[in-house]
Amino acid sequence: MAFTALAAGVSGLQAFTESVGVIADNITNVNTVGYKETRSRFSTLVTETGNSSSYSPGGVRAFAETLVSKQGLLQSSSSSTDLAVDGAGFFAVRKADDAQATNGELLYTRSGAFTQDDEGFLKNTAGLYLLGWDLESDGTLSVNKQETANLEPIRITGLSGFSEATSRIDTRINLQASTPISGAYTNPEDLASGSVTPDFETNVQIFDSLGREHTVVMAAAKTGANTWSYEYYFDDPSQLNLSTAGNGMIAYGELAFNSDGTIDYGSTTMFDEADTAVTVPDGAVNFDYATVVTSGADAVTVDQAAVVFGIGSDNGTDGFTQFDSSSSLLSSAVDGAKYENVNGISIDEDGIVSALFDNGLSLKVFKLPVATFDNPDGLQRRQGNAYGASDDSGDVVFNEAGGDGAGTIAPNALEQSTVDLANEFSELIKVQRAFSASTRIITTSDQILEELTRL
């Protein structure tokens, strides 16, 4: 019996020593961003016996339980790349010597103190690179969200000098109803060539795929009751391939208006320079830019343009109108831009990562996923305050922030450690007393054995 009691006391020393280690980890990580408290749990070791009249002691063993799902306090931060998850879920990260490597283990963390490294990649203090989905040029997400190969390291600085070609022009233009009918306009290109003076003329700025800025002129002449002929053309025809765009013209047609001044789609037409009919309002006009010389004798052909010229809603007043007020451009909306140099980053609650440029423009480039698990407390701990998937946690599911049970992204914030110092110190006292008590078991068992050897 003394030997079994001695073994039970030793098991207590082992278990409570492990528990002291758990408490020590908690206390030393009280200021670690996103750290989750670990607790010691104890289980009996029972030596089974078939004799009910005797008892054989077993002992105790310790288990460490990390409360991964426990939400920590969110504290505001002045850094735009400090992030927290408000609710369930984790940031997807990867540790690799090369940020662009795809063979590193996929890990998950709540530690969102991210900063840019010397190559512009976002990584936290543990060297884990933040991953996200690459967005389309229009800011939409079209990838398979559950395919891990679609997760890319977040990098913003590589976008300096980036440009986006114009694909749509929307204008609100009023053409004065009382304008006299002009009999001078007879053929397309009359306005572009300058042979006919337009009754109305305005211009908008567009961009090609190299970021060059071009001026497109919109001119119109009244050719009948509630009818105007119009043309879109470049103010500098040399910027176009003139074999397909005489006088720089890229589109023409006829605007028809109802008696109340709204546009009439049924009689309104649009054609490109090749006299091919274009559907209004969402048909794209195709044209070719001129070849440009970029360096030395190297010639580069700019991408062909496909631009939609929005003329407003049928029977509506959100595009072209004909009221008896002066002809004027009321507003215009043109996409595309030359983004200059990146000077900042912005991340919103939906996890949208936007690059901020020094010319005041912004561009949505990435979206952060929020990784969720059926049992987050079953995740395996990894170096750097991160976790790996396990059989107990279940498979990872990547969600958009705020959707399907996932938490939202809290920008300019950090999640604090869930450690309660008062509780840890009280637990430390209890474990120390339990450890001392186990030593007394060993001492007493030793005295019993010593008495036995004296018999």
Instruction: List b or e across 362-388, with b for residues whose CB sees 16 or more CB atoms inside 10 angstroms.
Output: ebbbbbbbbbbbeebebbeebebbbbe
pLDDT value at position 361? 85
DSSP 8-state symbol, 332: E
Instruction: Report d(CA 202, CA 221) in Å as an integer.
Output: 12
Q: Do 40 and 19 form a contact (C-beta atoms < 8 A)?
A: yes
pLDDT value at position 396? 96
User: What does pLDDT average to in each consecutive run of 10 residues of the chain (455 residues)?
Assistant: 77 90 94 94 78 75 91 94 96 79 83 91 92 90 92 85 88 97 92 96 92 93 96 93 82 96 95 92 88 53 83 94 97 89 91 91 93 96 94 95 93 96 94 91 85 80
Reading the block at residue 52, the tokens are: 């009910």
143 & 233 share domain: no
pLDDT value at position 101? 62
Cα dihedral: 429, 430, 435, 440 (round 10): 110
Q: Do 367 and 352 form a contact (C-beta atoms < 8 A)?
A: yes
Residue 422 backbone phi and psi in degrees, to 5 = -60, -45
Q: Do 257 and 264 form a contact (C-beta atoms < 8 A)?
A: yes
Instruction: Report d(CA 36, CA 420) in Å as an integer.
Output: 11
255 & 358 share domain: no
35 & 81 share domain: no
331 & 375 share domain: no
Instruction: Report d(CA 155, CA 138) in Å as an integer.
Output: 18
| pLDDT tens digits, 254-266 | 999 999 999 999 9
184 & 152 share domain: no
pLDDT value at position 20? 93
* Spatial CA neighbour of 312 closest among 265, 258, 249: 265
Reading the block at residue 241, the tokens are: 């391939």
Q: Do 130 and 81 form a contact (C-beta atoms < 8 A)?
A: no
78, exposed or middle or buried, with CB in 10 Å at 0-12, 13-18, 19+? exposed
pLDDT value at position 50? 63
pTM equals 0.74
Instruction: Report d(CA 92, CA 370) in Å as an integer.
Output: 7
The SS3 of residue 445 is helix
Q: What residues make up the domain containing 298?
A: 163-336
116 & 216 share domain: no
Instruction: Report d(CA 411, CA 405) in Å as an integer.
Output: 19
Q: β-strand 106-109 against 91-94: which pairing, if any?
A: antiparallel
| pLDDT tens digits, 324-350 | 999 999 999 999 888 888 888 999 999
Domains held by the chain: number: 3
Strand partners, 349: none
Sequence-distant (6+) residues with CB within 8 A of 360 are: none
pLDDT value at position 293? 47
Tell which of 286, 321, 336 closes a domain.
336
Sequence-distant (6+) residues with CB within 8 A of 221 are: 182, 184, 185, 190, 191, 196, 198, 199, 200, 228, 229, 230
**DSSP string for 285-312:** EEE-BPEEEEETTEEEEPPPEEEEEE--
pLDDT value at position 289? 87
Tell which of 336, 352, 374 closes a domain.
336
Sequence-distant (6+) residues with CB within 8 A of 36 are: 66, 67, 68, 70, 72, 110, 417, 418
Q: Do 174 and 313 form a contact (C-beta atoms < 8 A)?
A: no
The SS3 of residue 83 is strand
Instruction: Report d(CA 294, CA 302) in Å as an integer.
Output: 11
pLDDT value at position 300? 58
183 & 250 share domain: yes
290, exposed or middle or buried, with CB in 10 Å at 0-12, 13-18, 19+? middle
Strand partners, 204: 216
Q: Do 167 and 306 form a contact (C-beta atoms < 8 A)?
A: yes
Reading the block at residue 307, the tokens are: 């631009």
Instruction: List b or e across 215-246, with b for residues whose CB sees 16 or more CB atoms inside 10 angstroms.
Output: ebbbbbbbbeebbbbbbbbbeebebbeeeebe
The distance from CA 438 to its chain's CA centroid, rounded to whole angstroms, is: 54
Instruction: Report d(CA 263, CA 258) in Å as an integer.
Output: 6
Q: Do 216 and 204 form a contact (C-beta atoms < 8 A)?
A: yes
319 & 407 share domain: no
197 & 293 share domain: yes
233 & 320 share domain: yes
Tell which of 307, 336, 365 closes a domain.
336
332 & 232 share domain: yes
84 & 47 share domain: no
pLDDT value at position 358? 87
